Amino acid sequence: MSKQRLLAIIGRPVLPSRSPQLYNTAFKLWKLEARYVRLASSGLADALRTIDELDISGFNVTSPFKEEIIPYLTELDSCAAAIGAVNTVIRTKKGLKGYNTDPAGVLGALRELKVNPKGKRVLILGAGGAGRSALFALKKTLASAVWVTNRNAEKGREVAKKYGYRFLPRGRLKAQLALFDLVISCIPETARVIPVKNLPPHLKLIEAAYAHPFVFQEPHHQPSFPSATGGLEWLLWQGIPALELYTGRKVDPALVTKLREAVCSPQPAKSNLVLIGFMGCGKSTLGRLIAEELASDFVDTDEEIEKQTGLTVLEIFSRRREQGFRKLEASLIPPLLQRSRRSVISLGGGAVKEEKIRRALASSCHTVWLWTPLKEALERVDGCQRPLLKTSSSPGEIEKLFQERISLYARAADLIVANRRLELDQTIRLIIDEIRSAL
């Protein structure tokens, strides 16, 4: 089997992102040995370190890193250079090359809303990376009557001037909103700036964000404002050129339909938090502390198996070998994962080998892969009685096992979080913040 290619999205928070649904759907339909994951980090340097350690070959960038990442790149395409922000990065022989596909997202959302900005009065909310991408896209549509509004007036004026447009002070927005034909919102929560009751009936609205949508994103809901399209259309149309950059393949209309279904489908409600990862990554230690912080139950699946069998894990491995232990996991763990009482669960390092367990994780759990490089993980378990350390006698066998598990963890995980030395409190806070962002 060829090595699974890893791709990712970085940002903070990143767990609400639906990018994995888009890319993994394409990889599955194209039968590519690739997996796309969310990577949470305390900062950009931490994210890039994990990207290097996991040999992630390409990644998307969302807030707050779209501008911050530029000094770390060796190349920029012309679009990213003109906008001064990056949302897609590919590893090349020269280093990391940055792209910006957000203008394609804007133009795709305009097509979905059946709006031609030419001759229209357009307002851009926000002057960050997404806002500048919208302004860049509007230049291609020959829109001439465009205004920018921004919480930081100085930055808003500067960006408006750069693109040859006008600035509208935030304080005048409510009084002048009815003058516009189209609003493109590039801020996290549109409703905090424009209440629904203030929207004139002729106005059309496009949003970049979808974590806290102004309009309902699910296809079975009626939108709260009829002439609006939410951030999932932007996500779809910026994701398509990024997907083509990652794979070198062209996306046809039939696949576009499948990708739209994937990103717009209702997401399963997940009540439990599960920690997965290789031995020594800190699942049990972190799990207990997170459960205490969240006032949740804590479950260690290895301990549960020992309680139900009356044997230690070492004894089970000795008597039934690994195959027998995996059968026990497959029968005993899914009910633990699907329990209705909110719990934090530490999963045995090899449990993700069982497809039945991976299905249970996908349906009911926020699954966090605690990433720790092999050398550090082995230092943590030095002297401990670990079954696989007893059966895998050589460093080469341990390394092979570790690499095999990386693919399995990537397939099962909703989120990757690096657990490094002396950063326990920071890791706990990061995981809790990400989980809360998705609720």
Cα dist from 427 to 50, 151, 414, whole Å: 14, 32, 16
Candidate list 28, 66, 139, 283, residue with the active-site label: 66
DSSP state of 251: P
- Phi first, then psi, for residue 418 (nearest 5°) are -80, 135
Q: How far apart are CA 339 and CA 337, in angstroms?
A: 6
Q: Are 205 and 183 in contact (CB under 8 A)?
A: yes
155 a catalytic residue:
no
Contacts of residue 53, Cβ cutoff 8 Å, sequence gap at least 6: 371, 373, 418
Contacts of residue 300, Cβ cutoff 8 Å, sequence gap at least 6: 284, 287, 345, 346
Q: Are 86 and 69 in contact (CB under 8 A)?
A: yes
- Phi first, then psi, for residue 47 (nearest 5°) are -60, -45
Q: Are 162 and 150 in contact (CB under 8 A)?
A: no
Residue in this structure with the two tokens 């934090």, named with its chain if needed:
344
Helix (H, G, I), strand (E, B) or coil at 182: strand
Q: How far apart are CA 302 and CA 257, in angstroms?
A: 43
Cα dihedral 297, 299, 304, 307 in deg (nearest 10): -50
Q: How far apart are CA 368 and CA 21, in angstroms?
A: 17
Q: Are strands 5-11 and 34-40 parallel, antiparallel or unpaired?
A: parallel
Q: 336, 327, 349, 354: which is closest to 298 by C-alpha?
A: 336
Q: Which amino acids are annotated catalytic? A: 66
